[in-house]
Amino acid sequence: MSTIAIEGMEFFSYHGHFEEEMVIGTHFVLDLCFETDTSKAEKSDNLEDTVNYLSVYLTVKKQMEKSSLLIENVARRIVDALFEEFEAIDSIKLKFKKVNPPLGGKMDGVSVVLEEKR
C-alpha cells in the first residue's frame, strides 16, 4: 500500500455562508492524500496501473465548481466523488482550507479535515 499526495491545489470558488462570499468568491487550498496499491505500477511503469493524478484533480475541480454554504459540504462531496470514481483508492485524507475567511480578524484560514476508509 502506498500513499499518494496532491498538495496545495488552489481554487477560486464561491463557497460560504455569507452572501458576499457567494458573490465575490474566495480562495481555497486543498491537500489530498490517498492510499492505493501501487505495486503493479512500480514494476510496469505504466500509468494505467495506478490512479491517474490528473483524473483525481479533475474530479476535485468539478466539485469545487459547485457552490456550497459550508466547506464541510464541499469536502464531503469531494471524498464521496473520489471513492465513487476510483475503486483503487482505499482511504482518503482531505484538508480543505478557506483562505482569509471573513471572520473579523486576521488569519491565514480555516480548514476542515476529513479522513475516511472504504
What's the confidence (pLDDT) of residue 105?
83
- Residue 16: which domain range? 2-117
- Render each residue's pLDDT in the chain as its tens digit; 118 residues: 899 999 999 999 998 887 777 788 899 999 999 999 999 999 999 999 999 999 999 999 999 999 999 999 999 999 999 999 999 999 999 999 999 877 778 878 999 999 999 9
CATH of the domain at 23: 3.30.1130.10
CB half-sphere exposure, 74, CA atoms < 13 A: 28
**Is residue 98 annotated as part of the catalytic site, yes or no?**
yes
Question: What kind and span of H or E run contains 98?
Answer: strand 91-99
SS3 80: helix
Residue of 66, 98, 106, 117 with catalytic role: 98
Q: How many domains does the chain have?
A: 1
